[in-house]
Amino acid sequence: MNLEKLKEIVRTVLPSVDVVIGYKKGLDALHPVPCFLTSPDEIDALVLNPACMHNLAAYLPSLKNRAAVVVKGCDSRTVVQLAQEGLIKRENVVVIGVPCQGAVSVRKVLSAIDHQPVIEASFENDTVVIKTKKGEARLALRDVAPDKCLACRYPTPVVADHLAGEEVEPKIDEKTAYQEIREFDARSLEERRAYWMAEFDRCIRCYACRNACPLCVCRESCIAETRDPHWMSQKATQNEKMMFHMIHAIHLAGRCTECGECERACPMGIPVARLKKKINMEMKELFGYEPGISMDDKPPMYTFKVEEEKIEEHKIR
């Protein structure tokens, strides 16, 4: 991540677009917020640091005109996926990629400093420095990185018209990327069931996960809320909570780019991203498909092969 390089790039692209989507300072250095800049004198407000978590690509589908967007490796997959599904036009988007060493999870930081109010936060190459009344805490990025970063295989954006920084080599391979899923699969059916029942039970149906999801394009038409079709009631029962999460997961089958926004947005800290990751693992296994990697892929649920190499007829026993 290189802020100066970024500003430089933004300066050059700004004239050719209606808006540039980037990050600016929020209430503190730990909470940068998205900003939409349209004139050069806003450029200096730009920030870029491991706390820049938002997936800015999420704004693209709702934008009519030409925009430039700042994306980390994970976010860049969203751009590709959206374009793949025709939800945005690639040519309408200028992609400014920022290679990423891994972000910070505010939740992890706060628990590390047991929820002291943050006075000041700064970033040195691989540590976060937090000032609180109690004094200064130095946290290794690795320890406060969100789970998705620990399993990140695309630290460098997969598409970028401009790159703000040096390419970053992925630290892990495909196998380890899905390690946690495999481990979870290894548990007994009862354990898995108990786990999710407990998690879903905490769901308050606030839909934050859905709203944060850059690929949930239904917005007000989401079948979790419509009456026609009437898939579920608004009751906060276990049934309906589970049903909602199944809908979200299955609608993202072969589409989720694992940006982790759903999980970050969840006020109850439910690991909802795992559901999608499991399906992604199967998609890779079944169709060798990974969402948001190549512009000319076809999402596997919207196509087929007459002979499916990996799908065998199931026996009842």
Partner 1 sequence: MRVGVFICHCGNNIAGTVDVARAAEETAKLPHVVYSTHYMYTCSEPGQDEIKQAIKRENLDRVVVAACSPRMHELTFRRTVEKAGLNRYFFEMANIREHVSWIGEDKDLNTNKAIEAVRMAVEKVVRDKPLYSSSFKVNKRVLVIGAGVAGMQSALDCAEGGLDVVLVEKSPAIGGMMARLDKTFPTIDCSICILGPKMVDVAQHEKISLHAYSEIEEIKGYVGNYQVKVRKKTPYVDWAKCTGCGECMEKCPTKNAYDRFNFGVAPTRAINIPFPQAIPKKATIDAKFCRQIQKGKCGVCAKVCPAKAINFELQDQFVTEEVGAIIVASGYGLIDQELLPEYGGGRYPDVITGIQYERLLNASGPTSGHILRPSDKTEPKSIVFVSCAGSRDKSIGIPYCSNFCCMYIAKQAILTKDHIPDSQSFVFYMDIRAPGKGYDEFTRRAQEDYGVKYIRGRVSRIYPKGKKMIVQGADTLLGAKVEVEADLVVLATAATAAPGAAALAEKLHISYDTHGFYVESHPKLRPVETNTAGVYLAGAAQGPKDIPSSVGQGSAAAAKVLALFSRDMLESDPAIARVNQNACVGCLKCAKTCPFQAIKDEVLRGGKVVANVIETVCAGCGVCTSTCPCGAIQLQHFTDNQLLAEVNSLCLS
Partner 2 sequence: MSVVEGKELRIVGFLCNWCSYGGADTAGVSRFKQPTDLRIIRVPCSGRVDPLFVVKALISGADGVLVSGCHPRDCHYSDGNFYARRRLEMLKRFLPFVGIDARRFHYTWVSASEGQRWQQTVTDFTSLIHELGPAPLLPQNKTLPKEARA
Contact residues for partner 1, defined by CB under 8 A: 64, 85-87, 217-219, 221-223, 226, 228-231, 251, 301-303
Tell me which of partner 1, partner 2, none is bound by residue 217, counting a contact when its beta carbon lies within the kind-specific cut-off of 5 to 8 angstroms: partner 1
Tell me which of partner 1, partner 2, none is bound by residue 314, counting a contact when its beta carbon lies within the kind-specific cut-off of 5 to 8 angstroms: partner 2
Tell me which of partner 1, partner 2, none is bound by residue 87, counting a contact when its beta carbon lies within the kind-specific cut-off of 5 to 8 angstroms: partner 1
Residue 207 CB, shortest distance to partner 2, in Å, is 13
Residue closer to partner 1 by CB (options 87, 281) is 87
Residue closer to partner 1 by CB (options 49, 257) is 257
Tell me which of partner 2, partner 1, none is bound by residue 189, counting a contact when its beta carbon lies within the kind-specific cut-off of 5 to 8 angstroms: partner 2
Residue 61 CB, shortest distance to partner 1, in Å, is 9
Residue closer to partner 1 by CB (options 170, 302) is 302
Residue 252 CB, shortest distance to partner 1, in Å, is 9
Buried b / exposed e across 174-208, counting CB within 10 Å, b at 16+?
eeebbebbeeeeeeeeeeeeeebeebbeebebebb
The phi and psi torsions of 122 (rounded to 5 degrees) equal -140, 165
* Residue 293 near residue 257, CB atoms below 8 Å: no
Task: Tell me the β-bridge partners of 108.
Answer: none
Q: How far apart are CA 236 and CA 233, in angstroms?
A: 8
Distances (CA, A) of 69 to 35, 78, 117: 10, 12, 31
Residue closer to partner 2 by CB (options 33, 204) is 204
Residue closer to partner 1 by CB (options 176, 303) is 303
Residue 310 CB, shortest distance to partner 2, in Å, is 8
List contacts with partner 2 (CB under 8 A): 181, 184-185, 189-197, 201-202, 204, 231, 235-239, 242-243, 246-247, 249-250, 253-254, 268, 275, 278-279, 282-283, 286-287, 300-301, 304-306, 308, 311, 313-314, 316-317
Q: E strands, 187-237, where?
A: none
Indicate the angle between helix axes 189-202 and 238-251, nearest 10 degrees.
100
Residue closer to partner 2 by CB (options 55, 81) is 81
Residue closer to partner 1 by CB (options 117, 229) is 229
Residue 215 CB, shortest distance to partner 1, in Å, is 10
How would you list the strands of the sheet with 120-124, edge to edge? 120-124, 127-132, 135-140
Tell me which of partner 1, partner 2, none is bound by residue 237, counting a contact when its beta carbon lies within the kind-specific cut-off of 5 to 8 angstroms: partner 2
Tell me which of partner 2, partner 1, none is bound by residue 228, counting a contact when its beta carbon lies within the kind-specific cut-off of 5 to 8 angstroms: partner 1
Question: Among the residues of 67-118, which ranges form H helices?
Answer: 73-84, 106-112
Separation of CA 114 from chain center: 26
Tokens of 24: 């600016």
Tell me which of partner 2, partner 1, none is bound by residue 222, counting a contact when its beta carbon lies within the kind-specific cut-off of 5 to 8 angstroms: partner 1
Residue 177 CB, shortest distance to partner 2, in Å, is 16
Residue closer to partner 1 by CB (options 199, 240) is 240
Nearest alpha carbon to residue 115 among 134, 140, 138 = 134
Separation of CA 251 from chain center: 16
Tokens of 112: 């590390």
Q: How far apart are CA 285 and CA 162, in angstroms?
A: 33
Residue 108 CB, shortest distance to partner 1, in Å, is 32
* Residue 89 near residue 156, CB atoms below 8 Å: no
